[in-house]
Amino acid sequence: MGNPQTIWYNIEKNLVETIDQRYLPFQNLIIEISTLNEARTAITEMIVRGAPLIGVTAAYGMYLAARNYSGIEFHSEMNRAADWLKSSRPTAINLAFAIDEALSTISTQLTVPENSNLLLEYAEELKQREIGFSEKMGGFGLEIIQEIRRQKNGEPVNILTHCNAGRLATVELGTATAPMYLAHQAGIPIHVWVDETRPRNQGARLTAWELGEAGIPHTVIPDNTGGHLMQHGMVDLVIVGSDRTTLNGDVANKIGTYLKALAASDNGIPFYVALPSTSIDWNLNDGISEIPIEQRDGREVSMMEGLLVDQVHEFRILPEKSPVANYGFDVTPARLVTGLITERGICKASKEGILKLFPEKTSNND
Ligand code: MRU
């Protein structure tokens, strides 16, 4: 599989490298990031995407801003860099979380090179933290899969997922996919239904590629297929990721997640969300009214990209003059979520459930 990580600091070149996700699955290209602006562009252009990976990229971006700085107003410049990076994408809270943590590591008592070293250490530490979180979530989610397998007398467990909450959205293993990787490694037979995830097709292009590389049986389905499969007993479990989860357990994830949750609820199918605590917004209590939903370029809807013979082409798929709407995310209310799989365990999607796992957050939220 090559480097299992999706982003890394190249010491020899003194810059950051990452996979350019715009070209997968047709080409697996590595892109270099050596300035704050390149880090921001990587996020806005979705060279990197997925909440935890956006956070780690932003942390490296803060380091690059410091490393390249040569003026005399270092701290105000770092605050400007923070605001500039934060404005890159609005929904995933990991972005603001990582930037605020990065800012809190630097000090007016230190020189620019010292602060710059601290920021690189922070980015590396956040990366390791996310890897650890993925492993933990994987272990807890694995228990759910094992239990379903027992109930099915060893028959393959059919899991439906939406978008890409995999390795490519994190640093390693993923969030929603972490339990799948661990189940597969443990020899538990699983099969994954992969929602194609229009308009950018992160499921068809990225999740399918990832699962294929890992040898995990999977089938790509058009986004509207899940309900039908659920009605016919072909889905045992849904696991998705999250870009921002509020303290009351509402989950913002890729557009279309809510419809899967509704169908799962109607068919009595467990619907789990796997998320590291870096995706929890401790300040919000109502996802639908409070989480900012990104609206992206209409071209993502009107155009599609695909391979023709051996070349990638872009095609228009609707009348030139038809208006389009492109909401990037939706919010699944807590009542439709069976449980949240976090690095500390599985909890109810509620304030009480979340604070039981993260009691240190109680003081400012009671
Ligand atoms: O727009 P994207 O591709 O960044 O959206 C990604 C998702 O919605 C993922 O499901 C989410 O970030 C969870 S990532 C582990």
Model pLDDT for residues 125-183, shown as the tens digit of each residue: 999 999 999 999 999 999 999 999 999 998 999 999 999 999 999 999 999 999 999 99
Which residue among 45, 163, 205 has the greatest number of ligand 1 atoms within 8 angstroms of its CB, and so is best to mutate?
A: 163
Shortest-distance Cα residue to atom 5 of ligand 1: 50
Which residue among 253, 257, 275, 331 has the greatest number of ligand 1 atoms within 8 angstroms of its CB, and so is best to mutate?
A: 253
Separation of 186 CA from ligand 1 center, angstroms?
26
Matching CATH topology for 7-129 and 135-364?
no
Closest atom of ligand 1 relative to the 242 alpha carbon: 13
Mean pLDDT by 10 residues, the chain (366 residues): 84 97 96 98 98 98 97 94 98 98 98 97 98 98 98 96 98 98 98 98 98 98 98 98 98 98 98 98 97 98 95 96 98 98 98 98 76
- Calpha distance 292→325 (Å, rounded): 16
* Active-site residue flag, 195: no
**CATH of segment(s) 7-129:** 1.20.120.420
Tell me the Ramachandran region of residue 46: left when phi exceeds 0, alpha when psi lies from -120 to 50, beta otherwise: left
Q: List the domain boundaries for the chain.
A: 7-129, 135-364
Of 243, 250, 281, 330, the active-site residue reads 243
DSSP-derived 3-state class of residue 314: strand
What secondary structure letter does DSSP report for 295? B
Which residue spans within the chain are E strands per DSSP? 7-10, 15-19, 30-33, 157-161, 190-195, 218-221, 237-240, 244-246, 251-254, 271-274, 280-281, 303-308, 311-316, 329-332, 339-342, 345-347
Does domain 135-364 sit in CATH 3.40.50.10470?
A: yes
Average pLDDT, the chain: 97
Q: Taking a C-beta distance cutoff of 8 angstroms, is the pair 218, 194 a contact?
A: yes
DSSP-derived 3-state class of residue 315: strand
The pair of structure tokens assigned to 22 is 């715009």
Separation of 265 CA from ligand 1 center, angstroms?
22
For 337-359, the pLDDT digits (tens) are 999 999 999 999 999 999 999 99
